[in-house]
Amino acid sequence: MNRDAYDLHTSTDSLEARRAFEHAVHGLATHRPNTGAALQSALRADPDHVGAHALKGFANLILARSELNTVAGEALADARRSLAARSGGSRDERVLVEALAAAEGGSFTRAIDILDSGFSERPATFLPFKLSHALRFMMGDGPGMLNAARRAVDALDPANTAAGFIHGCHAFSLEEAGYYEEALKAGQKAVALQPDDSWGLHAVSHVYEMRGQTAAGIDWLEDSRGAWSRCNNFSFHMAWHLALLHLERGDHDRVLELYDDEVRPQPTDDFRDMANAVSLLWRLNQMGVHTGARWHDLAEVARGRQTDTTLVFAALHNLAALVAIGDRNAAATLVAEIEARALGPGDQGRVAAEVGVPLARMLAGLGAPADRQMLDRMMVNLPRIGGSNAQRDFFVLALARALGSNGDIAGVSRVSDVRRHLKTEDRLLRSIEIAAGPGLSA
């Protein structure tokens, strides 16, 4: 068996395939647009490259589009066939394929457990570490994300090719747990080791945003633009963070400029791009900013996804776009689909039942939480929809807005108190509190 530059033991004998796969893993780490092409190069050089088939499967599942489940299933079948052709392959390859099978079957949670146990003696092996980090992110497992990152950092050889990237994941995990000073140091270390570590750059920008350090955050993102602007659509997300910082400063013209040029430069239906755009336009509207016809592009995408509940996080953003333009029929269809998902199996069935359904009904104007107990459950369960604290803040703000519209001042106060444990109070929350009733923003 051979060991590649990222410490993965593989059964390939093709140097060309190994190098192409290493380029793909580097592309995964840096969010580069050439990752898919590198994977294809690896498979052309070695059609039985097990790791390439496995990574292709995971990549399609992480995109969270119902039509790509078939592609992921085909990648799993190819990976199993390649294992058989290689007399069972390496242990690392078998673990990756077993984890992919669990994820393809609807359990990211089980896939994470398989990756953790399979690489427990080598927690800094980058590909399984990065995959479990991504899956935990989508599942909202912040504590697990931090524990895994700490294990990887503790086991890290400074000469490890992925050292900077692992520190970047550690920084993000620290930030999500509220350890902002530690996150700042870890993120800066990550970028010093690997200037193209967009995830580390991203982690530091989160720290500045959560602390309300808008000037420092803007400077950080502008100074590192040369690195993150070369990313795939992750560059849209970095621009989203930049726009949020300008929004807090009240520079609405700059926010709209960023939206048009960098946050939503093309009408994609990638759920991450939609999350950026929907949450930013919603915030602008709450601040009284006229956004023109921009919602119509988003609603058109959402209509095409009104029966897709592959990822509840994505479905809820699509729902918000439909509500924004008043498409009640499509919104009702999507709410019903989320309710149906809550009755089904798998991770996302549980997510829909625990938080997706009440959030969907709230976004669709079907009522805010009826009592304190329900509200508290929603706040506790909210991380389970996945994403970051910054992304989920959209739902926190929307919940506060719905409670305020219903005259529930105590509910707004409760949501605001919980939010302040993570994020410095900002202009938008104050405006929601003022609209809800006198004394709340005092």
Write out pLDDT tens, residues 250-261: 999 999 999 999
Say if residue 190's pLDDT is above 90.
yes
| CATH at residue 358 | 1.25.40
Q: Is the pLDDT of residue 429 over 90?
A: no
Once rounded to an integer, what is the mean pLDDT over residues 362-374?
Answer: 76
Query: Does 350 score more than 80 pLDDT?
Result: yes
Domain presence at residue 401 = yes
- The count of structural domains within the chain is 1
Please determine, for residue 297, whether its predicted confidence score (pLDDT) is greater than 50. Answer: yes
Residue 371's pLDDT is 63
Torsion-angle region of 12 (φ positive above 0: left; ψ -120 to 50: alpha; else: beta): beta
Pairing of strands 2-3, 9-10: antiparallel
Which structural domain range is residue 415 located in?
Answer: 236-442
Name the band, by pLDDT with cuts 50, 70 and 90, for residue 374. confident
| 404 or 130: which leads in pLDDT | 130
Residue 44 within any structural domain of the chain: no
What is the Cα–Cα distance from 284 to 259, expressed in whole angstroms?
A: 11
Query: How far apart are the C-alpha atoms of 166 and 132, rounded to whole Å?
Result: 12
Does the residue 26 lie in any domain?
no
Q: Looking at the domain assignment, is residue 410 inside a domain? A: yes
The pTM of the full predicted model, rounded to 2 decimals, is 0.96
At 349, the amino acid letter reads: G
Residue 294: inside a domain, yes or no?
A: yes
Q: Quick count: other Cβ atoms within 10 Å of Cβ 63?
A: 18
Question: Is residue 192 situated within a structural domain?
Answer: no
Residues 339-367, mean pLDDT to the nearest whole number = 93
Within a domain: 211? no
Mean pLDDT in the chain? 95
Kindly state the average pLDDT of the residues 354-371: 84
Rounded Cα–Cα distance for residues 189 and 90 (Å): 33
pLDDT digits (tens, 9 = 90+) for 278-295: 999 999 999 999 999 999
For the cut 80, the answer to whether the pLDDT of residue 352 exceeds it is yes
Question: Residue 419 in contact with residue 432, Cβ under 8 Å?
Answer: no
The DSSP-derived string for 151-181 is HHHHT--TT-TTHHHHHHHHHHHHHHTT-HH
How high is the pLDDT of residue 403? 87
pLDDT at 439 over 60: no
308 pLDDT more than 70: yes
Least confident of 85-94, 351-360, 398-407: 398-407
Higher pLDDT, 1 or 348: 348
Percentage with pLDDT > 70 across the chain: 98
Radius of gyration of the chain (CA): 22
Classify residue 414: in a domain, yes or no.
yes
Q: How confident is the model at residue 438 (pLDDT cuts 50, 70, 90)?
A: low
pLDDT of residue 377: 86
User: Furthest-apart CA pair in the chain: how many Å?
Assistant: 72
